[in-house]
Amino acid sequence: MAAQLEPLPGTSDLWEQELVDWVSLETCARETFSKYGYGELRTPVLERTKVFTRSLGDETDVVQKEMYTFEDRGGRSLTLRPEGTAGVIRAIANRGLATGEERRVFYMGPMFRGEKPAAGRKRQFHQIGVESVGKVSPWLDVECIAMLMRFLAELGIPNGRLLLNTRGLPEDRERVTAKLLEHFEPRLGELCADCQRRIQTNIWRILDCKEPGCQPATETAPRITDLLGPESQAFFETVCRGLEDLGIEFELSPRLVRGLDYYLHTVFEVVHEGLGAQDALAGGGRYAIAVPGSKNPIEGVGFAAGIERLLLARESLGVKAQSAAEADVYVISLGEAVLSSGLALAETLREAGLRVFAETTGRSLKAQMRAANRLGTRWALIRGDTEMAAGTVLCKNMTTSEQTGVPVGDVVPWITRPTCE
């Protein structure tokens, strides 16, 4: 029976205290991204399946194995979004984007991938992401990465390792693919089953396969950066120089290709040692995504960070959001007759900006004090028949245990006076 009440594997219920940390991440994202001119966009969780298949690539693991796809009652194929970029591009294309115009958006929310659940790997996970769409410049890539690093530092995670690589331009692809084939074909027997399939379907992905058995073959593979044409080389050199000029440390990671096919030019990931096996905190890069009805693909640069992983990284560093008490004040009412004026007092306190929990059953003083303690309130405001008759409130400071009788009209200034903050 209990198993039927548990959330599905790879999904979680999120309770108040966890959400305090969660909301602090979201607030930090909003503050940081708005400093760079990004505004929020919320796209639907459910989209036509094509939105993802045409953007992410038919041969990616996400499309092949992980999407939650189903037919609705009207026979349409729909998918729960496995990532945010494809839907953002659909939304921007739907609004229309003039040539050379730039849109900067950020988003946050649930994403769904049917992966094997593990620490830091969920089936419903949550991303905070950004996309700068419409303009092509290596300096935009530099600024986007700088924003990610600032965001992580603001969150109290200054020690993520930034890994950087390039996938070059589409016109480089044939040359790189031919060289990779030359390298991997004679080593087919050394590769895992997935990579044996990838040799035909998506040979670049073999480069960042994590299977230990594939490592000898991938470690000796030719480097993409050595095979690119001059335009791609120059773009990447500018990105590297721009990051150096801003004092942002990075490691060249020649085998980083990323799991989605829409990338070209810059690709990057930030990994963190506090995360264990699923060590990618955030990933992104420059991409081009074809949209129906448009001759040219839409180009952009962006990244997404997993909220669950950001929280794990913060936990590993001992960083916590200030744990806010659930209420500042507990209004204790002793007996039925006092309840109504207890609620009125609570309203006055809320008008003054305080978070108030008011008693509604009139149970014993001991039970109400226990509730106030549980909520971590700073004040218990106690009233029974005696206080009602005298027009006072007994204000108990929960930290010092001092109690003072205060006229009811003076309670707000009394408990908010500076020495009590």
Looking at residues 268 to 297 of the shown chain, list those that interact with ligand HAM (rule: CB under 6 A): 280-285, 287
For ligand HAM, the nearest residue by Cβ is: 306
Q: Which is nearer to ligand HAM, 149 or 329 (CB)?
A: 149
> Which residues, other chains included, contact 232 with Cβ-Cβ below 8 Å and sequence gap of 6+?
166, 168, 169, 172, 265
CB of 306 to ligand HAM, least distance (A): 3
- Provide the 3-class DSSP secondary structure of residue 130: strand
The residue behind tokens 């996938």 is 167
Which residues, 59 to 88, sit near ligand HAM by CB under 6 A? 83-85
C-beta of residue 333 within 8 angstroms of C-beta of residue 307: no
Minimum CB distance to ligand HAM, residue 181 (Å): 26
CB nearer to ligand HAM: give 85 or 333: 85
DSSP labels for 260-301?
-TTEEEEEEEEE-GGGTTS-EEEEEEEEEE--TT-SSPEEEE
Residue of 43, 54, 90, 131 that binds ligand HAM (CB under 6 A): 131
User: Would you call 175 helix, strand, or coil by DSSP?
Assistant: helix
Considering only CA atoms, which of 172, 217, 171 is closest in space to residue 198? 217
Site for ligand HAM in 236-275 (CB under 6 A): 259
- Name which of 384, 387, 390, 391 is nearest 408 in CA terms: 391
Q: Name the one residue in this structure whose structure tokens are 């218990």.
A: 380
Q: Among residues 287 and 330, whose Cβ is nearest to ligand HAM?
A: 287
Binding mask of the shown chain, residues 106 to 125, with x at each position contacting ligand HAM by CB under 6 A: -------x-x----xxx--x
Other Cβ atoms less than 10 A from the Cβ of 195: the count is 23
Q: Which of 127, 111, 108 is nearest to 42 (CA)?
A: 108
Enclosing H/E stretch for 68: strand 68-71
Q: How many helices (H) and strands (E) does the chain have?
A: 16, 16
Please select the residue that binds ligand HAM; options are 57, 87, 129, 342, rule is CB under 6 A.
129
Q: For residues 108 and 358, which CB has a smaller minimum distance to ligand HAM in the complex? A: 108
Binds ligand HAM (CB under 6 A): choice among 90, 309, 378, 396: 309
Q: Applying CB under 6 A, which part among 135-143, 185-193, 237-245, 305-313 lies near ligand HAM? A: 305-313
Indicate the residue among 51 and 382 with the shorter CB distance to ligand HAM.
51
- Determine if 302 is a binding residue for ligand HAM (CB under 6 A): yes
CB of 204 to ligand HAM, least distance (A): 15
Could you give the 3-state DSSP secondary structure of residue 105? Answer: strand
Closer to ligand HAM by CB, 228 or 281: give it.
281
Question: Residue 266 CB, nearest distance to ligand HAM (Å)?
Answer: 10
Site for ligand HAM in 3-62 (CB under 6 A): none
According to CB under 6 A, which one of 106, 236, 303, 330 is a site residue for ligand HAM? 303
CA distances from 64 to 45, 56, 69 (A): 19, 10, 11
| Number of residues this chain uses to bind ligand HAM (CB under 6 A) | 27
Contact residues for ligand HAM, defined by CB under 6 A: 83-85, 113, 115, 120-122, 125, 127, 129, 131, 259, 280-285, 287, 302-306, 308-309
